[in-house]
A and B are shown apart, each in its own frame.
Chain A
């Protein structure tokens, strides 16, 4: 395991004081790889917080070029990068914050051809894709490969998050055994809503890697930011789940 340099010890000084984290936890972050898919309103902020916290390697999967309508929430995309690849914009912004960060940019969304390989390269997956097809693929590969997956999602002023640990918890297909029929690709969103749930996703990933705290396993945290009602719902494995069931 690579040790912290003097520069890193200085950079992370304030978070090294977090009980149960310390130098050992920080070294685990440095030596870890997290897959973030995609880097939209949610994934951008997940990646930014993980870069700030000192995760060593980020795999960023996101297709397409920056569009004007990305800029209300996709905080790694900037006006001067309109029309150019999103992953390049994300990489540039993350490197400004943390030049030590190793980034594996994949200008593709998660699909049947890349899911197994990209999940295989990661220690933890943070799932922030806008389509259930992509989420189900990451869930399937995470369960197959025994990798923890933090699933974060939002809609309008609502948001939710759960942490899936294969063998211990319900998986995404336990929660949603059938293709959801009412979900539409375009959803109402403020960046502050996607960014809020993104920060929770980032701290779940940090906890899993460093090894402190209690993850959101078998619990779905839901937030209604219109009313600021927050609750944690007990969820359970589904008998006969086609992904994680025996």
Chain B
């Protein structure tokens, strides 16, 4: 199945683009996807999303269908889903 990804701020900067489409196996959940994305987008991406011990950094927001979802909720992904990963911004 295809998942559309959108990125903002520092996550967008390390990925190098604002959106992407990735293919995932049926039944993949959110946590598996985010772990797999580390393999696609590299160490700097991984360092924003996960700490040294591999724990998710909760200040990065995950948005699905215009609603925030928690990493722990670990939703099962569906074909055509759009997931936005937002790193926190504070510019004034």
One digit per residue, 1 when the CB lies within 8 angstroms of any chain A CB and 0 when it does not, for chain B 58-91 equals 1101010011101000000000000000111111
- Give CA–CA (A43, B11) in the complex, Å: 26
- From residue A155, how far is it (CB to closest CB) to chain B in Å? 4
- From residue B82, how far is it (CB to closest CB) to chain A in Å? 11
A40 in contact with B59 given A183-B10, A234-B67, A236-B68 (CB within 8 Å): no
| A161-177 interface (Cβ within 8 A of B) | 175-177
Choose one: A38, A155, A238; the contact of B9 (CB below 8 Å).
A155
A158 in contact with B92 given A178-B57, A182-B10 (CB within 8 Å): no
Who on chain A is nearest to B59 by CB?
Answer: A176
Give the chain A neighbours of B87 by CB distance below 8 A.
Answer: 180, 182-183
- From residue B44, how far is it (CB to closest CB) to chain A in Å? 9
- From residue B81, how far is it (CB to closest CB) to chain A in Å? 15
A233 in contact with B59 given A155-B9, A180-B88, A222-B8 (CB within 8 Å): no
Contact, CB under 8 Å: A38 / B66: no
Give the chain B neighbours of A153 by CB distance below 8 A.
Answer: 89-92
**Is A125 close to B, CB under 8 A?**
no
Contact, CB under 8 Å: B89 / A178: no
| A127-179 interface (Cβ within 8 A of B) | 128-132, 135, 152-156, 158, 160, 175-179
The interface centre, meaning the residue of B10, B57, B59, B92 with most chain A CB atoms within 10 A of its CB, is B92
- From residue A85, how far is it (CB to closest CB) to chain B in Å? 18
How many chain-A residues does the 8 Å CB contact rule pick out? 42
Give the chain A neighbours of B92 by CB distance below 8 A.
Answer: 38, 40-43, 128-130, 152-154, 194
Give the chain B neighbours of A224 by CB distance below 8 A.
Answer: 8, 18
Contact, CB under 8 Å: A156 / B67: no
**Is B48 close to A, CB under 8 A?**
yes
A176 in contact with B66 given A182-B10, A182-B48, A222-B8 (CB within 8 Å): no
Give the chain B neighbours of A235 by CB distance below 8 A.
Answer: 61, 68
Contact, CB under 8 Å: B91 / A177: no
- From residue A41, how far is it (CB to closest CB) to chain B in Å? 6
Contact, CB under 8 Å: B48 / A156: no
Who on chain B is nearest to A44 by CB?
Answer: B92
- Give CA–CA (A233, B48) in the complex, Å: 21
Contact, CB under 8 Å: A187 / B61: no
Contact, CB under 8 Å: A232 / B91: no
| A195-246 interface (Cβ within 8 A of B) | 220, 222, 224, 226-227, 231-236, 238
Binding site for B on A (CB under 8 A): 38, 40-43, 128-132, 135, 152-156, 158, 160, 175-183, 187, 189, 194, 220, 222, 224, 226-227, 231-236, 238
Binding site for A on B (CB under 8 A): 8-11, 18, 47-48, 57-59, 61, 63, 66-68, 70, 86-92
